[in-house]
Each structure stands twice: as C-alpha cells, then as structure tokens.
Amino acid sequence: MIYKQVAKIKEPISAIGVGCWNFGGDWDSSEEQNSINIVHAAIDLGVNLFDVAPVYGWGTSETVLGKALRGKRDKVLIASKGGLLWDEGHQTRNNLSKKSLLWEIDESLARLGTDYVDIYQLHWPDPATPLEETAEALEEMRKAGKIRYVGLSNFGQAQAARMMELTEVHRQQGLVAGTHCLPPVFRVLLGPVAIKKMRAIRTGNTFYQRAVCGKQGGLVAACAKVVGYQVFHCHALNLP
C-alpha cells in the first residue's frame, strides 16, 4: 500500500480509503457480515482510512463499521461527518448549528463504539447557520477530545476559505476528482468502463481544494462510487 503524509495530520494515510455508504442497507446495500469482511480485508491490505456518515443507512453504516473495528481501532483513521439530519420519512435537512453538532457527535461515537473520531467533516453547508457558530462547535469538540481533525465535504470555494479563517481545516473532500488523480495501478484494476464513468462525472472544485487545502498542508480526498463501492484517492500535497 502507498501511504501519503501531510503536514496537518500526524499519521501516514493510505492512498486508497474505503467509503462505507453502502454498509447501511439502504444504498447498494451490503449485508452486515459482508461489510465487516470488506473492512477486515481492507485493513489486511494496508488501508487505514474509512469514511462514513450518520446519514448512510440512517445510522446503520456507523454501527456496522464500529462492529468491524472492534479490536482494530488503533489501526485505522475514522472519518465521519455531521450536519445532515433526517426524519422518520428519511427526508434530510442541513443543520450545522452548535447545538445539533454537539448532539450528533455523541450519537456517532455511541454507534461507532469509540471515544473519538479522527476526522470530523461537515457533510454539507448550511446557509441558515453562521460559519462562526459552526466553528465554535468544532473547537469545543476538539478540546473535549471527541474529534482530532476537522474536514469539509461538498463546500464551495468561498465557504471553505472562510471556514479556514475561523478554524483549522485538515481535510477537504470533493465529489469526484477524475481519473487523473488515481494511481496507475488503481486505474488498471478499475478497468475502462469504470474509468469512463468517473470521467463523465468529474467536478472542478477539487482543483481549488488541491490549491488551497493542500498548500496549507491538509489532506485532499477525491471520492467516486465505482462498481457499487465508494473509493478514495488521498492527495498529500505540501506545496511551497
């Protein structure tokens, strides 16, 4: 496994991570034991980054990942998220208020069976909540030892830049970065059909993330759903 190192994150991070959105039995569902087997196989292959979120499977994905990591927690980095709530009908709404985030992190820790999340990411922007309030919540979580690093997911350029003024941001995640970001061996493993699919849904925001977050010593992760699984290629950019 190839590992990347960035200035803002202490641990080396595997160049390929595993996204757990289909562990929840809702999107492209994977049976629980199969999901656990995937996690164990990935760890055996050297993968140490697992990305999850409360909304994936409405809490189930975090629970399954927590079960899979029993006795293996010290071998991995968990990247979970906050700020996306849902109701009984599974209708989602964005909420990055301090009160909501402080409640969410405790719920995530309970499902994951851990005392801390390594990378806590804001899942989507929330126009109704000032970024200053959100940053205050993140700082409180970090001081309490509930999170170690802060990440942004699906944030635009102006929002990301402003958040980086308010608190230290260690990771940014784009929707898809395109196949140019993937290691050659991974492109071979995926095959031409999957590569074509990824090129078709490329987004431009990743280039901004590489220039800003990467320049400041943060981790930039591009994700794509390929053949039923979410995969990541992590960029370690320490630019001058």
The domain that holds 147 is classified in CATH as: 3.20.20.100
Which stretches of the chain score pLDDT less than 50? 176-191, 193-212, 214-215, 224-230, 232-240
d(CA 128, CA 132): 12
**Which domain covers residue 88, as residue numbers?**
3-236
Query: What are the b/e assignments for 29-58, b being 16+ CB within 10 Å?
Result: ebebeebbebbeebbeeebbbbbbbbbbbe
Question: pLDDT value at position 31?
Answer: 86
For the chain, the C-alpha Rg in angstroms (whole number) is 17
Q: How high is the pLDDT of residue 15?
A: 84
C-beta neighbour count of 184 within 10 angstroms: 7
Report in angstroms the alpha-carbon separations of 33 from 2, 29, 96.
Answer: 27, 12, 33
Strand 92-94 versus strand 84-86 pairing type: antiparallel
149 is catalytic: no
CA distances in angstroms from 230 to 17, 19, 24, 50, listed in the order given: 9, 5, 13, 10
What pLDDT, on the 0 to 100 scale, is given for residue 176? 46
Catalytic residue among 3, 56, 120, 149: 56
Tally the domains of the chain: 1
Q: What is the pLDDT of residue 219?
A: 60
pLDDT at 27: 65
